[in-house]
Structure 1
Amino acid sequence: MTLTPDRNTLLQDLSRRRLLKAVGFGAVGVAGANVLAACAGGDNASNAVAGQFTGVYDYDIDAQTRNVAVEDGALLMNSVYADLFLPAGGFYNWKTHEWDYLLMENAVWEGDDLIVSLRPGLKWSDGTDLNADDLHQNFAIRVLEAPAWSIGFPQITELEKLDDLSVRARFDNPFPGIELQVIDHRLFSKSTYGDFGERAIAMVADGVRQGDDEHNEFNAEFIAFNPTDVICSGPYKFDPAQTADARITLVRNEDGYQGTEVAFDEVVIHKGDNRQASLLIQQGEVDYSTLATSAADQQAFQSVEGLRWIEHPGYDGCGLMFNYQKKPELKDVRVRKALAHLLDSDQIGQVARGEAYTRVNYYAGLVDMQAEQVFSQEELAGFATYDLDHDKATELLEEAGWTKQDGIWHLPDGEPASFEVVGVVGWGDFELTATQVEEAWNDFGIQTTASNVPADNPWGIWAAGDFEVAVRHWGNPEIPSYWGAFQMNFLVENARTGDTPGQDFDLKVDSPSQGEVDLEALVEVAKTAPTEEEQIEAVRTMAIVFNELLPRIPVWTYKYLAPALEGVRVAKFDDDHPASQNQIYMDNHVILSLIQGDLKPVE
């Protein structure tokens, strides 16, 4: 897709304050020249090395470890490039809900047992065989280390190595989708983790699980472990001589999976945060980036020859989360709906994200793409919409007992209505969403102030309920199963305890069409029911209830626009890849195309 000036003319209609904020997050000025020179990393990459693919990511060569088994804090492990040197067992297709196996040959259910088999002939970059010993050790470590609340590894009760390539994992009450994290697991080598792996196998066989004394001792050692090298299984491996502060070069790993099939000899990853990445893209140094771009960046990129946009769908969005304890007037569904009708979601999305957003059509708690998979178009036509409508907002507030005096809305008890809406410092799209909500509600006569919570731990603030209205995500970008959206919408930051009340939203609700519904129980049914039909029926009920009761307001949906450069190092990006509906950070189809050898260099 291309960005057109016509869409961006909307920015001209904004207030001066909002426009300056929108531009300020991405405009490139004179001060950027020094940053650009610093992050170019030495040789100018525009003098393209034959067979070189370039990306960008904000890594820290000194602070980040080489303990790739503990992904958070490990070098490049939270980037999309991790698949190039440590592929997972399989690549999930978020649209078809099917697997494209990578290191695994297949995964087959036999009753309560999942039989997982590796491809034959795989090797690690240190020359050792990648076999069932790696698989067995990996699975045992994950049984101990995976969070107890997660789905997959914690439900494994037995592990057995069957032959040189296969492992049997027995599950406690398996259900459709329980295997997702197991197949999607990124394998690490027994050469590095063999001692931990053998200990984990013995502990799991003895019934030790997360939180037991034996595990606590194991975990302390495992987290502190910091090997000197990353042993790789994918088509690329680290080149120690080209691993530096400014850029990291991954070179072809011929013995690795797809090592002789990938079309690029090396992958260069420049160091850069969002702003530095934008500067590198404008200079033509980066072939593909998944880092966030502002509205102003998107405009600036139009002058880069060969620059195009690859659109990745969003499985979550930005909206408003309410604190029902601090603002009990929000318990009236008419008030929530009225507040939604005061927001121009297209304008808010455009200012906050430029072209990188989509509007919300169905208000189902699922992103629209998922709603269309679960419901027919005829059914979705019956869903309520909450577009900008001041007359409807007035009608709803008056029905709720609110009155307007001297241009200010008052609660039924006569007190002036007021809200504080909080974004997050440095999260530009959240900050801009908060300020626009402030303007919209103030313009209607509801006293509103916008502020921002610190970026170091907004999750703790949300969980503690230290807010009145928070700009917060809805939907779920990490769980491809439909129930993930409702886990986020209903359960995350909603513990309803003294220390962590969060939203304090009562999950036992009365729906106009569904009657009395226990939403927490329905999330569990949607997650663990023994058939897909039962899971989907629970999802459908929750989506209908969400649309009727609007427990939080979806404002806009993420659309990820990844800048990509054609004609310098990459010949062409695939316009119609089978996995193009994948989540950008979890199962990126561009990276899959590179691994498959379908992405080609300029000849």
Structure 2
Amino acid sequence: MPDGNTDATEMNWMTRRRLLGAGGAAAVGMLAGCGGGDTTTQEDSGPTETEGEGADTGDETETTEQGDPIDPTLSFAQWPNPNSSNYNPYNTKNFPKPRRFMFDRFMYFNLTSGEYEGYAISDWEWDGNSISLTVRDGLTWQTGQSVTADDLLAQLELDMYTGGTLKNYLNGDIQESVQKIDDTTVELQLSDVNTSIAMGLLQPKHIYTPYTLDGASYEGFGRFVERYHDATTEDERSAVTNELTSKWTITPDDEPIGAGPFQFEDADSQRTLLTKYEDHPDADQFNFPEVEYRYSPSNQKRWQMLQNGVTDGYDTLFMPENQLQKLPDNVEVGTIPRHYGMGLIPNWENKHLGKRKVRQAFAYAINRQLVARNSGGGTGTKVGVNVPSGITSQLAGDVKEWLGDDYSTFEKYSHDLEKAAQLMEEAGYSKSDGTWRDSDGNKISMDLKVTSSFSDWVSADQTIVAQLQNFGIDANLLTESSSTYWGKSYVNSDFDMASQSWTDYGRRYPFFHQSWMLNSNDATSYWNVPETVMVPPYGQPDAEPQEVNPLPKLQKLSSASGDQAQQLVKELAWTINQSLPAIPMMEKQAQTFLTTDDWNVPAKDSDKLQTYWPNEWLPRRGDWTAKLE
């Protein structure tokens, strides 16, 4: 059985119990797209609470030479217009990538070694089901005040009050279960939870939230904590959530304050400029004074920036082979396992796609390997999903390992138009003049919506639509701007079919993906997956379907380990395989970009690149430095 490596994203697993406030729609904006869109996430982690250096196969970087940097500014790109960026991490509309240098993550995790190292949280200690977290000594807000346990408490509590996953594993209510121990330590009192899951949720978090903030143009986050504590009704709590997640913004005019190694300097319509914060504990790792993020709202513009030497790298960006060939020799392209991939999202309230056999027919009608190949653009970084199951890491063989001897009983949905036609007929449809029609003779028409910002998704969806048309479905592809797609169509379920990840963005442990497909806010609120689904008994695909509620098994899996965990994963995989809440299309290897003309960086195959994300962590660890004159 594969290990519990939950290599991480910050993405929340939100349950049905979450009360959706007015901020819900904004929060999903540009959720996880293939271009690495700016999102607030609860992103990243691994299997054990060990610490230590990961193995290194990369180049040594210069850290002791004297002289001025050839290029004093490390340049990247960001999605939202710098002028309209918003630095409130809970109101995620236009939350920009400069946050990666303005704020520090709790911990570092290396995908190769599977080990954690402290960062903003320097130490942690498990005591039964409780974990104490200690803030790094010397970490300060960029006003000069120390980062304290109050700030950490605000971060943890507000994450959970606004729907964060950790809330599901507390031993009591939020206020009782998050306790300040001293000036630098907070204790979380958890229920019986798998520590891999808990660490996977903690590691990628950032410290964003000064409880109080002296010398700034805006107040700290403690006022929201206190209002949550004082709220006595659900309506009062919802009002706080609405203000925090929807109404309050921190704009460039507010001169946002962080606690990372670089601080906000200014922003205009084309770029955000950050300057080195000399009082950060790792300030000496940076031998260059500036980081900038240039406005680039599409994959194509990012390609051109790298090809023309405008930017010095990018965390994760899909670039097809014909564009890779245009890169100058100084650009290195590494790959990182992503445990992530696009899925075809059926709207379960659609009168046709709400039928299990129609979803299964579509799965058979689409050649997922062809979709992945066309989406990959000749890069070989994408592979079609072989067995829809909510289990990732196909290239490493995780699906077969988790399913074991039962692997052969799962539907593979290999491309088979005859099987697809049989299922459509069993669902009550007939085909005439090459088109599938319902019992009233109306042709089956479907629109598939996708954001135009993600060129690889568009290529995938063009292939999907062509195959559905070939099968006899009146299918059409509608591309929309990122703001329209994520901000309106997707969150309002205004689609027949949509494009979104079928995975929880970057994690390996199946729990996260199975939860995402069956019980996430996206699944229940946007895809309209019901609380119970109809599936045949385990291992009996031809038996009569029965009503199944997957939530109890998801809850058990959150604390299970060993053989019990494997059995629960298999049973949840069966529910997904037979009901298809989403139709998984592909899984990807992320491309990450570094330049060597003016910068010392590790080799593209170095283990140092195996983290989310190299352009964020390498400079902090002294592994991305400026070459000197």
Shift of 1:169: 3.0
| Alignment correspondent of 2:336 | 312
Which of 144, 160, 166 is the aligned partner of 2:179? 160
Shift of 1:420: 0.9
Q: Which amino acid aligns with 2:512?
A: G
Which of 503, 513, 522 is the aligned partner of 1:475? 503
| Alignment correspondent of 2:452 | 426
**Structure 1: tracts of 5 or more residues without a match:** 1-25, 27-46
d(CA) in 1 for partners of 2:221, 2:323: 50
1:507 aligns with 2:533: yes
Which of 456, 475, 478 is the aligned partner of 1:448? 475
**Secondary structure of the equivalent of 1:192?**
coil
Residues 327 and 368 of structure 1, relative CA distance in 2, 3 Å threshold: farther
Shift of 1:189: 3.5
| Alignment correspondent of 2:302 | 277
Q: Which amino acid aligns with 1:341?
A: Y
1:326 aligns with 2:350: yes
Structure whose alpha-carbon radius of gyration is higher: 1
d(CA) in 2 for partners of 1:252, 1:465: 43
- 1:228-283, CA deviations, whole angstroms, 9 ceiling, x for partnerless residues? 3333332322345xx44433343333321321124544323222222332222111
Residues 600 and 381 of structure 1, relative CA distance in 2, 3 Å threshold: farther
d(CA) in 2 for partners of 1:57, 1:600: 21
Residues 331 and 380 of structure 1, relative CA distance in 2, 3 Å threshold: same
| Alignment correspondent of 1:101 | 118
Shift of 1:86: 0.8
- 1:6-38, CA deviations, whole angstroms, 9 ceiling, x for partnerless residues? xxxxxxxxxxxxxxxxxxxx9xxxxxxxxxxxx
1:72 aligns with 2:92: yes
d(CA) in 1 for partners of 2:468, 2:291: 49
Shift of 1:116: 1.0
Shift of 1:570: 3.8
| Alignment correspondent of 2:368 | 345
Which of 512, 519, 531 is the aligned partner of 1:491? 519
d(CA) in 2 for partners of 1:144, 1:546: 29
Shift of 1:304: 1.8
Residues 146 and 340 of structure 1, relative CA distance in 2, 3 Å threshold: closer
1:547 aligns with 2:573: no
The answer as to whether partners of 1:519 and 1:542 remain within 8 angstroms in 2 is no
| Alignment correspondent of 1:439 | 466
The answer as to whether partners of 1:512 and 1:548 remain within 8 angstroms in 2 is no
Query: TM-score of the superposition, structure 1-length normalised?
Result: 0.75
| Alignment correspondent of 1:37 | none
Which of 82, 86, 93 is the aligned partner of 1:61? 82
| Alignment correspondent of 2:258 | 232
d(CA) in 2 for partners of 1:458, 1:502: 17
Q: Which amino acid aligns with 2:414?
A: D
1:189 aligns with 2:210: yes
d(CA) in 1 for partners of 2:222, 2:593: 44
Residues 310 and 410 of structure 1, relative CA distance in 2, 3 Å threshold: same
| Alignment correspondent of 2:99 | 82
1:388 aligns with 2:408: no
d(CA) in 1 for partners of 2:563, 2:232: 32
Q: Percent of aligned positions with the same letter in both sequences?
A: 17
d(CA) in 1 for partners of 2:431, 2:161: 58
d(CA) in 2 for partners of 1:279, 1:508: 48
d(CA) in 2 for partners of 1:526, 1:69: 31
Q: Which amino acid aligns with 2:281?
A: Y
d(CA) in 1 for partners of 2:391, 2:445: 26
Residues 211 and 558 of structure 1, relative CA distance in 2, 3 Å threshold: farther
d(CA) in 2 for partners of 1:371, 1:340: 24
Stretch moving more, 282-291 or 463-472: 463-472
Which of 229, 237, 259 is the aligned partner of 2:283? 259
The answer as to whether partners of 1:137 and 1:198 remain within 8 angstroms in 2 is yes
**Secondary structure of the equivalent of 2:362?**
helix
**Secondary structure of the equivalent of 1:385?**
coil
d(CA) in 2 for partners of 1:135, 1:476: 25
Shift of 1:516: 5.0
Residues 483 and 118 of structure 1, relative CA distance in 2, 3 Å threshold: same
Shift of 1:156: 5.3
Aligned residues: 541
- 1:501-542, CA deviations, whole angstroms, 9 ceiling, x for partnerless residues? 835585243235178573432463256436576454322211
Stretch moving more, 448-457 or 317-326: 448-457
The answer as to whether partners of 2:461 and 2:477 remain within 8 angstroms in 1 is yes
- 1:22-81, CA deviations, whole angstroms, 9 ceiling, x for partnerless residues? xxxx9xxxxxxxxxxxxxxxxxxxx9734643211134333234x44546257xx542x4
Residues 555 and 105 of structure 1, relative CA distance in 2, 3 Å threshold: same
| Alignment correspondent of 1:358 | 383
**Secondary structure of the equivalent of 2:263?**
strand
**Structure 2: tracts of 5 or more residues without a match:** 1-34, 36-67
The answer as to whether partners of 2:224 and 2:240 remain within 8 angstroms in 1 is no
| Alignment correspondent of 2:189 | 170
Q: Which amino acid aligns with 1:115?
A: S
d(CA) in 2 for partners of 1:549, 1:578: 40
- 1:128-167, CA deviations, whole angstroms, 9 ceiling, x for partnerless residues? 3333343344445545455599656874524433233212
d(CA) in 2 for partners of 1:99, 1:106: 11
Residues 251 and 152 of structure 1, relative CA distance in 2, 3 Å threshold: farther
d(CA) in 2 for partners of 1:348, 1:374: 20
**Secondary structure of the equivalent of 1:277?**
helix
d(CA) in 2 for partners of 1:179, 1:375: 25
Shift of 1:353: 4.2
- 1:67-122, CA deviations, whole angstroms, 9 ceiling, x for partnerless residues? 44546257xx542x423221022134567765332111222232443211123233
The answer as to whether partners of 2:70 and 2:626 remain within 8 angstroms in 1 is no
- 1:531-588, CA deviations, whole angstroms, 9 ceiling, x for partnerless residues? 57645432221113333454432222243323332233344445232662x5xxxx31
**Secondary structure of the equivalent of 2:131?**
strand
| Alignment correspondent of 2:143 | 126
d(CA) in 2 for partners of 1:494, 1:269: 30
d(CA) in 2 for partners of 1:453, 1:437: 17
d(CA) in 2 for partners of 1:180, 1:442: 42
d(CA) in 2 for partners of 1:97, 1:174: 20
Shift of 1:453: 6.1
Q: For 1:201-220, list aligned pairs within 5 A.
A: 208=231, 211=234, 213=236, 216=239, 220=243
Residues 550 and 128 of structure 1, relative CA distance in 2, 3 Å threshold: closer
d(CA) in 2 for partners of 1:545, 1:389: 22
Which of 518, 542, 561 is the aligned partner of 2:591? 561
Residues 537 and 308 of structure 1, relative CA distance in 2, 3 Å threshold: same
Q: Which amino acid aligns with 1:169?
A: L
**Secondary structure of the equivalent of 1:108?**
strand
d(CA) in 1 for partners of 2:520, 2:156: 27
Residues 467 and 162 of structure 1, relative CA distance in 2, 3 Å threshold: closer
| Alignment correspondent of 2:567 | 537
| Alignment correspondent of 1:43 | none
Shift of 1:288: 0.9
